[in-house]
């Protein structure tokens, strides 16, 4: 009995010693692994981390890895980023409130600059100015584009004249010219397939109002409806966002009309040369009106009429002979 007990004591002691030895070696291995990890981490930071003595906005980033720098920059950006403020209009005083640019930390550029910096560099965040979507220019009517573009614009208002559009489109295609078509919503509803065809041909699609009413007789809420509902209609027909250009029906403008369009993010487009084609002048008279007055950056107002249809090939040729390239309204505003 005693032997068994003694034997059991020896066995227990033997097992206990094995456990101690195992724990000892586990500790040794863990210590080695921790040391290896620390050395490896140090080595990685030495090779891939930020160089010695580099500071970002007064904060030491020495030894940081790119993902750590990125995380830090994003936290800093929260305090720096600022949304731009659009220009506005006070109807009570007629005052235009200037736009204010925003600012945004360029995270990737900042991280790249930090990671590539030489030892001892003192760096700042890379910050870009963010322009407002609606500037003061949105509250001024456009009569003329930029002369330095060397272009002129075809602004074609469409509220009727579908019987002449097909031939005009053929001419534009043959001459490789894109124009801006300002559509009235009621006409779009009547001829959606033709609008799709014009958009598919690469022409600029713009807003001429939901219906051909008199803007000067409209209240602000009606003006908004005139613009926004026509934009929604055009979007549903062509399957993409139309241009943010607005040509008021009848060419009627005043401060309220332009301001209302501007607050909605639309630029009000007028013209520098009027073909007066709705009076059906002869093609020669139409050409004389345009070619005798047109200048670089000019905006030529026309409609789908028999006069414009017949004069269009010669008009394009005449403009090119003057060194002017016909195109869209947006192209002369760039």
Q: pLDDT digits over 31-63, tens only?
A: 544 444 546 667 778 888 999 999 999 999 999
How many beta carbons lie within 10 A of that of residue 231, not counting itself?
A: 22
Give domain status of residue 256, yes or no.
Answer: yes
User: Do 160 and 309 belong together in one domain?
Assistant: yes
39-43, 221-225, 270-274, 330-334: least confidently modelled range:
39-43
Model pLDDT, residue 100: 96
What domain count does the chain have? 2
> Does residue 122 sit in helix, strand or coil?
strand
Which residues form the domain of 82?
A: 55-136
pLDDT score at 15: 57
Per-residue burial over 48-59, b = 16 or more CB atoms within 10 Å of its CB, e = otherwise: ebbbeebbbeee
Instruction: State how far the alpha carbon of 184 is from the alpha carbons of 191, 201, 233, 323, in Å.
Output: 11, 19, 10, 32
pLDDT, tens digit, for every residue of 225-235? 999 999 999 99
Whether residue 125 sits in one domain with residue 242: no
What was the pLDDT predicted at 9?
Answer: 58
Phi and psi torsions of 183, nearest 5°: -100, 140
Q: Judge if 68 and 154 occupy the same domain.
A: no
Cβ proximity of 178 and 172 under 8 Å? yes
Task: Specify whether 104 is located in the same domain as 157.
Answer: no
Determine the pLDDT at residue 46: 81
13 lies in a domain?
no
Asked if residue 159 is part of any domain, the answer here is yes
Spell out the residues 6+ positions from residue 164 whose beta carbon is closer than 8 angstroms to its own. 304, 305, 306, 308, 309
**What string of H, E and C letters represents the secondary structure of 224-259?**
HHHHHHHHHHHHHHHCCCCCCEECCHHHCCCHHHHH
| Whether 85 and 215 share a structural domain | no
Q: What is the CATH number of the domain that holds 263?
A: 3.20.20.370
Domain membership of residue 69 (yes or no) is yes
pLDDT digits (tens, 9 = 90+) for 279-317: 999 999 999 999 999 999 999 999 999 999 999 999 999
Q: 190 and 266 in one domain? A: yes
- The answer to whether position 6 is within a domain reads no
Residue 319 and residue 271 share a domain: yes
Sorted by sequence, the CB contacts under 8 Å of residue 333 that are 6+ apart come out as: 142, 145, 146, 267
pLDDT, average across residues 179-207 = 98
Choose the final residue of a domain: 136, 169, 202: 136
> Does 111 share its domain with 183?
no
Section 246-270 average pLDDT: 97
pLDDT score for 90? 86
Which pTM was predicted?
0.79
Residues 170 and 115 in one domain: no
Reported as a pLDDT band with limits 50, 70 and 90, residue 322 is very high
Q: State which of 136, 167, 199 marks the end of a domain.
A: 136
In a domain, 115, yes or no: yes
Q: Which of 43-47, 62-66, 115-119, 197-201 has the lowest mean pLDDT?
A: 43-47
Residue 98 has what pLDDT?
Answer: 94
Contact at 8 Å (CB) between 195 and 183?
yes
Which pLDDT band, with edges at 50, 70 and 90, does 10 fall under? low
- Residue 22 domain-assigned (yes or no): no
Residue 269 falls inside a structural domain: yes
Percent of the chain with pLDDT over 90: 83
Same domain for 147 and 101, yes or no, is no
- Do residues 154 and 128 both lie within one domain? no
| Contact present, 334 and 146 (Cβ < 8 Å) | yes
End position of a domain, from candidates 77, 106, 136? 136
Instruction: Using the predicted structure, report yes or no on whether residue 178 has a pLDDT greater than 80.
Output: yes
Residue-level pLDDT at 227 = 98
Residues 244, 311: one domain?
yes
pLDDT band at 259 (very low <50, low <70, confident <90, very high): very high
């Amino acid at each position: 009995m005693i032997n068994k007990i003694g034997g059991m004591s020896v066995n227990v002691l033997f097992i206990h010693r094995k456990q101690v030895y195992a724990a000892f070696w586990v500790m040794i291995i863990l210590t080695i692994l921790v040391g290896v990890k620390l050395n490896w981490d140090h080595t990685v930071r030495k090779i891939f981390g930020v160089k010695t003595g580099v500071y970002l906005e007064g904060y030491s980033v020495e030894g940081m890895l790119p993902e750590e720098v990125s995380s830090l920059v994003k936290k800093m950006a929260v305090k720096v980023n600022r949304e731009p403020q659009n220009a506005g209009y006070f109807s009570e005083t007629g005052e235009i409130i200037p736009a204010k640019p925003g600012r945004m930390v360029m995270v990737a550029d900042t991280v790249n600059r930090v990671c590539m910096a030489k030892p001892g560099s003192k760096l700042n965040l890379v910050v870009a100015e963010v322009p407002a979507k609606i500037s003061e220019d949105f509250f001024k009517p456009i009569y003329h584009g930029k002369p330095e573009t060397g272009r002129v614009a075809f602004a074609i208002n469409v509220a009727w004249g579908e019987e002449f559009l097909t031939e005009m489109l053929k001419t534009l295609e043959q001459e490789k010219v894109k124009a801006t078509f300002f559509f009235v919503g009621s006409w779009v509803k009547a001829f959606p397939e033709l609008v799709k065809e014009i958009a598919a041909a690469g022409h600029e699609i713009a807003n001429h109002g939901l219906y051909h009413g008199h803007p000067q007789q409209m209240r602000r809420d009606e003006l908004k409806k005139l613009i926004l509902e026509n934009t929604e209609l055009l979007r549903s027909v062509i399957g993409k966002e139309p241009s943010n250009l607005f040509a008021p029906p009848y060419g009627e403008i005043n401060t309220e009309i332009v301001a209302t369009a501007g607050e909605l993010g639309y630029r009000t487009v007028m013209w520098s040369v009027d073909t007066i084609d709705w009076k059906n002048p002869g093609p020669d008279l139409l050409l004389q009106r345009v070619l005798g007055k047109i200048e670089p950056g000019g905006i030529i107002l026309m409609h789908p009429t028999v006069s414009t249809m017949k004069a269009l090939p010669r008009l394009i040729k005449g403009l090119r002979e003057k060194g002017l390239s016909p195109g869209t309204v947006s192209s002369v505003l760039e």
